[in-house]
Amino acid sequence: MTISFEPSGFIFITGNLSSMMKNIFWIILVFSGGFQVQAQTSYAGNSATASFVTYQMGFQRPRESFARKEANLKALFEAKNLKWPARYMYIRSFKYDSQLEVWVKNTVTEPYKLLKIYKVCALVGTLGPKRFEGDYQVPEGFYHINEFNPNSAYYLSLGINYPNASDRVLSDPVKPGGDIYIHGGCATVGCIPIKDDQIDELYVLTASSKSVGLDFIPVHIFLLSMM
């Protein structure tokens, strides 16, 4: 059994644990006051990544995405009293709920604000973590964005760093799988697909933040929400 804690107070449980034991564990946490775990990202201010948006604008799809989405996103940030681009960003997904959330805040000491909820529009495999290449499973665990692909076969895509350290221990040692992305296209063999107009937004959000020094954007993937 593995028990992990995420920034907004959710608990992530994997392994052979009965439903009754999960409920008991949850009740104990509630009555003991729960856990407050604060995950931070690494906003470093203007840096060598300042040209990242300029680089992305050299590709047709990101260029069109910025033209369609940037003004509306700036207006949304202003309405929520957030600085554009996001100084701190956190992404999480709940597999059972087919949901992808984007949380943002201005400073390291503030609580995150929920900015967007996207519907994951296709799902393969079953509930449970990814363990080997070709199992069609979406990973479960703590990851971060490690790639921007402006020419994806699924329109636009954001890579996540599967396998992480835990996956390398628990998954197949030879072929744990890889190439896990948040992407458009509404089709998948084990990734997190959202609609093209939604990956437009998410690509603009993340690329803009990277351009001002946000080099680490966490992506936490859970079986389900326990709220």
Residue 8 within any structural domain of the chain: no
Residue 31 within any structural domain of the chain: no
Q: CB–CB of 90/111 below 8 Å?
A: no
- Supply the residues annotated as catalytic: 183, 191
Average pLDDT over residues 185-212: 96
Residue 61 within any structural domain of the chain: yes
Contact residues for 70 (Cβ-Cβ < 8 A; gap 6+): 204, 208
The amino acid that residue 45 corresponds to is: G
Residue 35 within any structural domain of the chain: no
Rounded to 10 degrees, the C-alpha dihedral 161/47/62/204 comes to 80
Q: Residue 202 has what pLDDT?
A: 98
Residue 30 within any structural domain of the chain: no
Q: What CA–CA distance (Å, rounded) separates 27 from 79?
A: 37
pLDDT band at 29 (very low <50, low <70, confident <90, very high): very low
Residue 18 within any structural domain of the chain: no
pTM of the complete model: 0.80
Average pLDDT score over the chain: 84
Residue 147 within any structural domain of the chain: yes
Q: Residue 84 has what pLDDT?
A: 97
Range(s) of the domain holding residue 91: 40-222
Q: pLDDT per residue over 106-136, tens digit each?
A: 999 999 999 999 999 998 888 899 999 999 9
Average pLDDT over residues 140-159: 97
Q: pLDDT per residue over 30-86, tens digit each?
A: 333 333 334 455 555 554 456 899 999 999 999 999 999 999 999 999 999 999 999
Average pLDDT over residues 149-155: 97
Percentage of residues in the chain with pLDDT exceeding 90?
73
Q: For residue 54, give the CATH number of its domain.
A: 2.40.440.10
Residue 227 within any structural domain of the chain: no
Q: What CA–CA distance (Å, rounded) separates 29 from 53?
A: 43
Q: Residue 25 has what pLDDT?
A: 40
Q: Residue 226 has what pLDDT?
A: 77
State yes or no: pLDDT of 7 exceeds 50. no
Q: Residue 38 has what pLDDT?
A: 43
Give how many domains the chain has, as a whole number.
1
